[in-house]
Amino acid sequence: MSLDATWVSVLACPRCKGPLTVASPLSLWERAGVRDCAPSPAPDELHCVTCRLAYPIREDVPELLHEEARPLVPSGR
Ligand SMILES: [Zn+2]
C-alpha cells in the first residue's frame, strides 16, 4: 500500500473537516479470519466516522467528493 499515516494525516473529510482513517478491506478480511479465501485486493477507502461515510481510493487517488462517498452502515448482525 502506498498510503501511509503521514499522507493520510493531511487529508480531511470534505464535509466535517474531521480526520479520516484508512480502511483496508484486506485487513478487514484478515481480522475476520478468512484470509485463505480473501478476494483480490480491493481499493482502500477513507472512512469518516463522524459522517459515517466511506470515500473510495481509486488508483491511489482519494475521491474526496461527497457524491462519491458511500454510507457506512452497521453490518446488521
Ligand atoms: Zn466527515
Query: What ranges do the domains of the chain cover?
Result: 5-71
> How many Å lie between the centroid of ligand 1 and the Cα of residue 36?
34
Whether pLDDT at 60 is above 90: no
Q: Report the half-sphere exposure of 40 (CA within 13 A, side-chain side).
A: 0
Task: Kindly give the distance from the C-alpha atom of residue 29 to the centroid of ligand 1, in angstroms, as a whole number.
Answer: 25
SS3 state at 72 = coil
30-41: pLDDT as tens digits: 666 655 554 555
Quote the distance between the C-alpha of residue 57 and its chain's center: 7
What is the CATH number assigned to the segment(s) 5-71?
A: 2.20.25.10
Mean of the pLDDT values across residues 51-66?
88
Q: Which three cell numbers stand for residue 50?
A: 463522524
pLDDT at 73: 80
